[in-house]
Structure 1
Amino acid sequence: MPRLVLVLGDQLSPSVAALKAAEKGRDVVVMAEVAAETDYVRHHPKKIALIFAAMRKFAARLKSDGWKVAYTRLDDDGNAGSIPGELLRRAEEHGARSVLATRPGEWRLIEALEDCPLDVAMHEDTRFIASHAEFESWAEGRKALRMEYFYREMRRKTGLLMEGDEPAGDKWNYDHDNRKPAEDDLFLPKPLWFEPDEEVEEVLQLVEQRFADNFGKLRPFGFATTAEQAEKVLTHFIQTALENFGTYQDAMLQDQRFLYHSLISAYLNIGVLDPLDVCQRVEQAWKDGKAPINAAEGFIRQILGWREYVRGIYFHEGPEYPSRNALNHQRALPPLFWGAETKMNCLAQAVNQTEEEAYAHHIQRLMITGNFALIAQINPSEVHEWYLEVYFDAFEWVEAPNTVGMSQFADGGVIASKPYVSSGNYIHKMSDYCGSCHYSVSKKTGEGACPFNLLYWHFLDRHRDRFENNPRMAQMYRTWDRMDHGKRKTVLREAEAFLTRMSKGDPV
């Protein structure tokens, strides 16, 4: 009797656990494009197209390698509309009673498979560098689960950037060297893009028909849709951009959306690139003298440290994690996040880029859209859902800790030791957004004052009881207390007026 072998849209790796446990001549691989996965949030059309196109090409690869594949397209007659429904349909078709699955990366799907009436055996996803057991062992007994210390354990485990028992260059972290603002006369490489072939074009037409009302521009579409293409993207990045990645990784330029970033996060998250292999290739570039250590370490830390860490946090904290709201922020997400008019150039730039590219780099997400959402007291569940919808690399295991924890401090400090909030000064330092903004970053109050300046102090004042004894925030409160009493009252009054206008739907 055959078994069904479930392969999800973010498990497009020949080495995925369910395939490794299966027998090629006996078992049937089940892959399905289903409404339950496209509609639980209104995903960016580019993200849907990327996953569907990559799924179809991976299915063809499996067939050519001798696997029997039962593939369901979104518009196929008989499509059951959900992963469990498709498993039941294929089980009846092939006379199967059991399913081999790789543990999904979202609680929502794990629970759906647990409720499936078939015998579903879920295997741990071994494509990650740290197993769940390893993360739990590291976390046990710790008062604070800080990424830096987990990252060091991963360095020791893998030997990446290590010289014996010590870090290469005698430093674990070169973040101090990676905070330079970019200049607009830098030589900036262009990302590697791929013209849609016939199969990708078919997917694009399907997405245009079914998801025309979703936020985001589908075309132009140039993402890699196979492992071979993704490898070319990685090679192109290492050869043309890695050298300057570290120095300028936090920089923002309004006419240069990609700077020296790799754009491989989605390819890692759907499984067409292997995280350890990526890190090893970047390390080799450093060993070969093609990139400085601050670039190699900064890049490897994002994968070996941060990516592995947030996955561990997501499963460690449990299914309710995305719904946390430690600061009790309740404002609705304003229309500007969906492209409505705003006078704040930094937000307009970040949202417009997100709409057109399904991409923004980590500082745009953390210190522009995330920073604003936090100091504007927006409900973190709405912020979480927005990030999950609009980015091409967003899957809940990676997105929720980054948003609920790192960006919105809604987990109460599980991930971050302090909230990532700033006034307009940080944005001015790291970008060229402020120069063409309606508001003045140098104005603290009055007509034309930067809203980030007002809302920053308003946030600190509102949450004083929680944060004034935080050692990393004490200086901020001392600065606030030294302000003239009348000025403090003006700041709070103008911040409240801004939030009222925003909540009413007025352009801000």
Structure 2
Amino acid sequence: MTQLHSNCFTSLSKLPTNDYAEIALILGDQLNASHSWYHQKSKRRLFVMFEMRQETDYCRHHIQKVVGFFAAMRNFASALAKAGHNVLYLTLDHSDNKQSLTDNLAAVAKHCNSKEILLQQPDEYRLDKQFDEWQAPDSCSLTWHDSEHFLTERNVLNQWFGDKDNYLMEHFYRRVRKQTGYLMEDGKPVGGKWNYDKENRKSLKASAELPEPLLFAHDVSALVELLEQEGVDTFGHIDPNNFIWPVQRSEAKQLLSYFTEHLLSRFGDYQDAMLEGHWALYHARISFALNTKMLSPKQVVEAALSAWQANPDDISLNQIEGFIRQIIGWREFVRAIYWHFMPAYADSNFLEHERPLPDFYWTGKTQMNCLQHSITQSLDYAYAHHIQRLMVTGNFALLAGCAPDAVDAWYLGVYIDAIEWVELPNTRAMSQFADGGKLATKPYVSSGSYINKMSNYCKSCHYDVQTKVGDGACPFNLLYWHFIDRHQQRFANNSRMALILSQWRKRDESEKKEIREQAESFLANLGNSPQQD
């Protein structure tokens, strides 16, 4: 459903009264139906939602991302209106729409003679800054509310660990476990260990029988036509008659239930696996629902825990711990990192990388099968799981020396779940090591051997993963050692890089020279172009 409920007001002139004392703004990633705002109805409060060029144009988005957000927003507005709340929803093409968040708020406040504007704390720095710089109408006061979604506060790193140059996710994760009591027993971790990550690195065989992903089938052709009509510049692919992502709370809950019932029992084992021809595997694919707040982390964790407690023989401890770590550990941690280090974080470039992204990031046309598969999947579904993002597309961009700004823009645009607070730390820091170690203690780089271990991509590749240098050598093998060579001085004092640096320095000089020359020739012929299909 992309049409708004008949109870929604769709223009200022259609409001039955221009006297609303309170205006409450709902952003596209604030679709939290459980928020305390909605516990009571008020004739004097008007909820407002806007589709805006400000949001479609701050980066070039995958078409499924824009459509997904707009469809979910329309469904949320319709549900509120149907429940008896006053809702004004301005579509992208409406003449009342100023295409700016603050300009729209000012216009509505003036029209409605409002005295107060209610805001939920935004999750992106750019919106925080926009509100800070905004001169609200003199007659209006701004009242801030929590989004009532996250388990921790924005400034939690400073609260818990003080102002530091870097932080460890494991320390953060354990603190959240203690705070919430999840997987805790008598003050200690259930099973005696905090982390079962080493048990969660199994690969899948091509012959494996895998469950089919739960997909939805929405007709979003009206939204696709709207974007085309308004000239919104997007990339990627979409089937307008068969949009597969959840766009309302009931569907998000259905997707979560499907995961806990059919996928959680193997999630931990295979969360790092990659398999050609299978894009979903055992992953929950609830990140879009979580990041729009259709689901809450508490809801997700407690649903998974309930499934584990009901089926302890089927769902082992490493499966449940691996999943919960992603939600209460990693997700909350990257948000805390984002708010602690912004805005300078967005400009960090520790390795001084400047190369443009190769054009195949927008086409998938490359002879490297792992990249071809992961990128094509991203263009087709606006989705890739964390190892495809980190150790295939991210790993290549880092080894090739691509500019963090370009890498950020691609990741922020291509994935349906990408909002800057979660994308930026994962990309610029975890993937590209551009922050110099504020989040991760070493760069996440690998040769082709890791990709070969965790996937079947290499078996049908143009290049030979076993060949380290020379004709047919896997580019990841060449670029890995080229990266180590380029940055050996930067990593000289990094204890986690000591072994690999030692291995490089012991190599024969003629072999080093051959690797350098072949890697540089490969990079010189990558081919770069504007961000176009």
TM-score class, shorter-chain normalisation, is over 0.9
- In the TM superposition, 1:268-287 aligns within 5 A as 268-287=290-309
Give 1:453 deviation, angstroms: 0.6
Question: Does 2:488 align with 1:464?
Answer: yes
- In the TM superposition, 1:359-438 aligns within 5 A as 359-438=383-462
Please give the secondary structure, in 2, of the residue aligned with 1:502: coil
Give 1:211 deviation, angstroms: 6.0
Question: Does 2:340 align with 1:320?
Answer: no
Task: Tell me whether 41-50 or 207-216 shows the greater mean CA deviation.
Answer: 207-216
- In the TM superposition, 1:255-294 aligns within 5 A as 255-289=277-311, 290-294=314-318
Which amino acid is 2:396 matched to?
F
Contact 1:34 1:82 survives alignment (8 Å) = yes
User: In 2 relative to 1, CA 22–310 (structure 1 residues): closer, same or farther, beyond 3 Å?
Assistant: farther
Question: Does 2:104 align with 1:86?
Answer: yes
Contact 1:245 1:299 survives alignment (8 Å) = yes
Question: Does 2:328 align with 1:309?
Answer: no
Determine the C-alpha separation between the residues in 2 that align with 1:390 and 1:403: 12
Please give the secondary structure, in 1, of the residue aligned with 2:323: helix
Task: Tell me whether 471-480 or 26-35 shows the greater mean CA deviation.
Answer: 471-480
Give 1:20 deviation, angstroms: 6.1
Give 1:476 deviation, angstroms: 0.7
Contact 2:33 2:294 survives alignment (8 Å) = no
Contact 2:370 2:392 survives alignment (8 Å) = yes
Question: Does 2:220 align with 1:214?
Answer: no
Instruction: Give the aligned partner of residue 125 of structure 1.
Output: 147
Q: Deviations over 1:239-277 (max 9, x none)?
A: 111101000000001100110000000100001001111
Corresponding residue to 1:341 among 333, 340, 365? 365
Please give the secondary structure, in 1, of the residue aligned with 2:294: coil
TM value normalised by structure 1 = 0.95
Give 1:135 deviation, angstroms: 3.3
Determine the C-alpha separation between the residues in 1 that align with 2:235 and 2:467: 34
Give 1:70 deviation, angstroms: 0.9
Task: Tell me whether 229-238 or 129-138 shows the greater mean CA deviation.
Answer: 129-138
Which amino acid is 1:325 matched to?
N
Instruction: Give the aligned partner of residue 46 of structure 1.
Output: 64
Corresponding residue to 2:168 among 139, 142, 146? 146
Instruction: Give the aligned partner of residue 95 of structure 1.
Output: 113
Give 1:504 deviation, angstroms: 6.1
Instruction: Give the aligned partner of residue 5 of structure 1.
Output: 24
Please give the secondary structure, in 1, of the residue aligned with 2:118: strand
Corresponding residue to 1:295 among 297, 313, 319? 319
Instruction: Give the aligned partner of residue 250 of structure 1.
Output: 272
Question: Does 2:248 align with 1:226?
Answer: yes
Instruction: Give the aligned partner of residue 26 of structure 1.
Output: 44
Give 1:442 deviation, angstroms: 0.8
Question: Does 2:129 align with 1:107?
Answer: no
User: In 2 relative to 1, CA 420–265 (structure 1 residues): closer, same or farther, beyond 3 Å?
Assistant: same
Please give the secondary structure, in 1, of the residue aligned with 2:144: strand
Give 1:333 deviation, angstroms: 1.1
Q: Deviations over 1:421-468 (max 9, x none)?
A: 000100011011111111111111111111111111111111111113
Contact 1:44 1:358 survives alignment (8 Å) = yes
Question: Does 2:195 align with 1:193?
Answer: no
Determine the C-alpha separation between the residues in 1 that align with 2:143 and 2:262: 44
Give 1:396 deviation, angstroms: 0.2
Q: Runs of 5+ in structure 1 lacking a partner?
A: none
Task: Tell me whether 371-380 or 282-291 shows the greater mean CA deviation.
Answer: 282-291
Question: Does 2:98 align with 1:74?
Answer: no
Q: Runs of 5+ in structure 2 lacking a partner?
A: 1-19
User: In 2 relative to 1, CA 75–291 (structure 1 residues): closer, same or farther, beyond 3 Å?
Assistant: same
User: In 2 relative to 1, CA 438–268 (structure 1 residues): closer, same or farther, beyond 3 Å?
Assistant: same
Contact 2:452 2:458 survives alignment (8 Å) = yes
Determine the C-alpha separation between the residues in 1 that align with 2:337 and 2:261: 33
User: In 2 relative to 1, CA 189–211 (structure 1 residues): closer, same or farther, beyond 3 Å?
Assistant: farther
Which amino acid is 2:461 matched to?
C
Contact 1:358 1:392 survives alignment (8 Å) = yes
Instruction: Give the aligned partner of residue 483 of structure 1.
Output: 507
Instruction: Give the aligned partner of residue 59 of structure 1.
Output: 77
Q: Deviations over 1:349-392 (max 9, x none)?
A: 11100000000000000000100000100000110011000000
Give 1:469 deviation, angstroms: 3.0
Instruction: Give the aligned partner of residue 6 of structure 2.
Output: none
Please give the secondary structure, in 2, of the residue aligned with 1:464: coil
Instruction: Give the aligned partner of residue 171 of structure 1.
Output: 193
- In the TM superposition, 1:447-462 aligns within 5 A as 447-462=471-486
Question: Does 2:192 align with 1:156?
Answer: no
RMSD over aligned Cα, in angstroms? 1.7
TM value normalised by structure 2 = 0.91
Query: How many correspondences in the alignment?
Result: 502
